[in-house]
Structure 1
Amino acid sequence: METVSPNIFVTDIKQTIDFYKQLGFNVVATVPEQGDIVWAMMTCGNVTFMFQTFDSLGNDLPVISRQNGGSLLLYIQTTEIRKFFDQIKDNVNVVKGLEKTFYGATEFSIEDNNGYLLTFAEDEK
């Protein structure tokens, strides 16, 4: 195994793309390429997320919940965490501010526009 790229199901993909652009992500692919997008791949550095609309699932994969949010936390390693926090803190829902953890990482957590929790972390020297 080499990588994992979560495919996150969302209600409003345009709003999701706009939200993740605020975090520094860029769209690298969409389906379709023009028109009403139902799937998008976004990257920032070595982090890749895929987003797909609930509607595009149809009746496939009934085990997937058809609601936003849930018991999922995406843990993202980053650099210059304090600078990044200062850049986005006024435009996102900060759930937990910057703090040094007992295991030595500096972290903060936000909620994305779909109710998913993102925790950003840096092992500061």
Structure 2
Amino acid sequence: MNYKSLNPILYTKNLNQTIQFYTEKLRFTCIEKNEALHWALLQNGIIEIMFSHPVKGIAFETAQFTGSLYFNIDEVDKLWEELKEKVRICYEIETFEWGMREFAIYDNNGYVLQFGEKI
């Protein structure tokens, strides 16, 4: 058995606001949106993230993910310059001893998004 991909589904109370955040700030494209299901698929390169309203029966007040999404990217400094005044910062750009230059932000829902580039 081989795993082929990982496609997270993150809950949001405001699907349109989330689509706007990811398309305008992070250059994702909304590939598919289903109004009836309150669901959308966003993509940037080979990265795909699904967003939906919480499934009935699951209590959801705010982001409940107890980790982060880590994006390996090129030109991390360029993205930092584009975002640093437009988003809520989790931690500023820094070069770490493990050989990564990275920073982290919060998306509109409160999920932590980390961006790193190998140096």
**TM-score, normalised to structure 1's length?**
0.85
For 1:65-122, what per-residue CA distance to the aligned partner results, in whole angstroms no more than 9, with x for missing partners?
A: 5132231211111101101111111111111111011211000000111011000011
Does 2:103 match 1:108? yes
Which residue number corresponds to residue 47 of structure 1? 47
Alpha-carbon offset, residue 45 of structure 1: 1.3
Structure 1 unmatched ranges of 5 or more: none
Counterpart code for 2:16: K
| Alignment equivalent of 1:28, drawn from 18, 31, 48 | 31
Counterpart code for 1:69: A
Alpha-carbon offset, residue 37 of structure 1: 6.5
RMSD: 1.4
Given that 1:68 and 1:116 are in contact with CA atoms closer than 8 Å, whether structure 2 keeps it comes out as no
Map residues 1-125 of structure 1 onto 2, 5 A cutoff. Answer: 1-21=3-23, 22-32=25-35, 38-54=38-54, 57-59=55-57, 62=58, 65-70=59-64, 71-124=66-119
**TM-score, normalised to structure 2's length?**
0.89
For 1:12-63, what per-residue CA distance to the aligned partner results, in whole angstroms no more than 9, with x for missing partners?
A: 111101111111111001113xxx6600000111211000012xx223xx4x
Q: In structure 2, the residue corresponding to 1:84 is in which secondary structure?
A: helix
